[in-house]
Structure 1
Amino acid sequence: MRTMGGFYLLLHRLMGRSRAFSGTGSVWSIWAGNGRGGVLNAATGGHTGPFDAELARKLKLGSWAERHGLVGDDGRPLQMMVTRIKKTVEVRTAKQVGGHLPSVRVTNTADTSFTHYLRTDPFVAEWAADVLTEAITDAEENARAVVVRLGGGSAAAVPDQVREQAAGGELDTLACACTDIEHAPGGGRCRQSFLACFGCPNALVMERHLPALLALAEALRGDLQRRDAAQWTARYGATWQILTRDILPRFSPAQRAAAQERQPHLMLDLLEAPAQW
């Protein structure tokens, strides 16, 4: 009440629930009580926009509806109001543009149009459900499309055939995929330890590698508890930084939670080059 427009905002908040019943386009919406007002506005639970009713009386909309024999779905005489006309126009406009709410916006925001005029219309409700489904599907597909190229390489430069092989698990190493094991950065077939994968431009990480990556992070964390910190940092520090800062944050909490249940058991000995090499 001490700010500009505070009284208006107070009324707007107090009458919000009543507007949801009456469907009025104005701020002012009241409950008409159990008397004559409640009977006249039974369809809205007794709530009404008094200024809408006043405007309707001045325009003599009731008489116009009676002369034209307008009736509702229940067969009874239709109570014609400005808000009803506006709702009809909003619904018709929404249908003409295929239910696309942003295109319907003329006098209201998309939220207001849907909340007060369109949400009860089956056509618009079906469109809204389709949009929500598409949005969720797109978000899920984008989340699952995480592809990380390590060592400064570009994921977009990976050929489609190689990407498909990696997605199918044909190119897996310990916790990622190798796009070209025959041509290591130093030349020839790669014979480096699995630790080298996390700094190699041939390394590719996809969602299917997430369980192994989480298992690796857990194994490294456990090893830190048993080893001298300086020794651990010298051996695994760079791998830990790449893993926890560059790779795991790319995946959503839901993806990480799902992968947590499928973690394999990884022995840190596998990170080092096999003795027979």
Structure 2
Amino acid sequence: MSRRQGRGSTGTGRPAVVPAGPYEAPPLVREDVPGTLLVDFHGEDNRKRSYDFSTLPLPGWRPLLARSFALRTGYSGDARTLESARHAWTAVQNWARFLDTLALPPATPQHLTRAHVDAYNDRTDAAPRTRHAMMMELRTQFADPQLKGELPSEAHDAFNRRLRKPEAASVGGYSSGELERLTAAARADTARITRRLRDSEDLLRRYREAPDRLGEEDRSRGEMLAAMAAGGVVPELSGRLNVRLPQRVALASQLFMTWRDLAPLFILLMIVTERNGETIKELPVRHRVLEDRAVELTVVKRRRGTKRWFETVTWEIGPKSRELHTAGGLYLLLLELTARSRACCDASTAIAIWRDGHRAKVVGRDEHWAPFEQNLGLGSAMELSGWAAGRPKPVLADPPPKKKKGTDPPPPRPLRITFNQIKTSADARRTRQLGGHLPSSAKSNTAQTLYRNYLKADEPTREWAAEVVSEALVDAEQAAAEAHERAIARRGGSPKVLPEATTAQQLQEDGLPPEIARKLADGQLDTAWTACEDHDHNPETGKPCGDSFLDCFHCGNCLVTPTHLPRLLSLLDSLGTLRHRMSEDDWWKRYGPVWVAIERDILTKFSPAEVARERAKPLPDAMLDLVEAPWEHP
């Protein structure tokens, strides 16, 4: 094999380095002893596991299921983390066990029929979302090109049916007050944990440097800390388990983080970094500090698509006094607090703790472990809600509204805490801070996913959005009204509305010259929706008017009588339809002043009964195309 390495080892006319001798890829499926079928998994997250297919029922199915699983989880497959491999394995187990329960199970894949697949899809012993997930996984596995012809065509067709994903129950976030209380509690408890461990480290340092300078109590405690620090072993205590276990945990917690310390630190990490729980579980040890100002590391974000699980992030460190407020400072603090346990268990992830080994049947240094290196599902064991309720000052939810007047509201209850609600609340807060602009607010998801999975169901966000929209509409209407006022100031005043005059005599009594009154009554002055008193003299220019018909509503020459009311109502309806087809900004700029003029200056001069009577009748065509020609657009 060539010894050339690094830059310059390849180039034009220079062959690439290749292994010496023939290369054979390892088999997809191992058969160590006759009758066993093993598939080895080594994921992109560096987790490993072997799956034994000889434990499945229906021996005739085992070779196909082993191959499909190996292709799905292999180097060219899409399931490249241990969690996704577990999901694929669960689907395979579920499928084999279901077939084994049938009265006449298909002994081999070639015996599979559409009826078998239909029965699996329609079974009632699983939730709709579970059935959908299992069907999608099996469809993906059996669709691999290397398995073509392994299943009958009718069975393939049954797997490839259209599958409608059940709607997930929407989970909203916390109110602003709830999030503030949760953040304050998590930060206070994290600060307490930090002080506890740093005080112990300081005592240990002073004991090692000059034990004679310590008092008797500190020297005794320093000796105990030095013994635990040397080997990472927490001394065994005598007595009953339920008595010695809390004492031993308290002893270990003087130097190591324990399981009960995880909840507040984990919650604060999610809030400050604005990342989901799975990403926090897999925070790496490996990182790079950039000029003491930021820390750079690669985080895992699952469910982002094939081979897109890893993302390099840069988090601000900030001053030491603000380490609980910045993502980089909190990450470095996590590494500091878990350093001793991580060294004992040789963990590659940032979270490592000590736990009593009674249940796991481990002792000594093996009591240190990285809980999420092998099993991400342990997050539920942190009991986040239990931490919130069990604090000396519990984290409380907002009180529910009063059901009846004069009754006292029910007492506040402890806040229920879940990963989804923390992530939703953090995303909602960031979205509000950025003014609701979803593309800018999307951090670890697309804008569509951010809205659909997090913000859509969040009641505080909906309330905020409704408030923002209401304020924006008020501002837009006010701007349109001001534009209308400026226009009528230039064009001789607002339209003349004659709500009770239809004949020439009535129009003259309202102050119109006889000739104008006669032409107006005969309809000779009508324009698109109103009438014009003097088309030959534009109030602004003094010349024949060539303005848009929409400008008539800001002109002193505009005349409105009851005969124009149906056309005006039809125009309003058409403007309302256009509002759903255009952006709010564009609609208010082009049609807002007209809408304000009609609603405020014209319709208010007619009685509500008269307007309602005209609306009950068929309205004429709005003729909005008269102003929608290209030359009419600004």
TM-score w.r.t. the length of structure 1 is 0.42
Higher RCO by CA contacts (8 Å cutoff, separation 6 or greater): 1
Structure whose CA Rg is larger: 2
TM-score w.r.t. the length of structure 2 is 0.19
Between structures 1 and 2, the one with greater helix share: 1
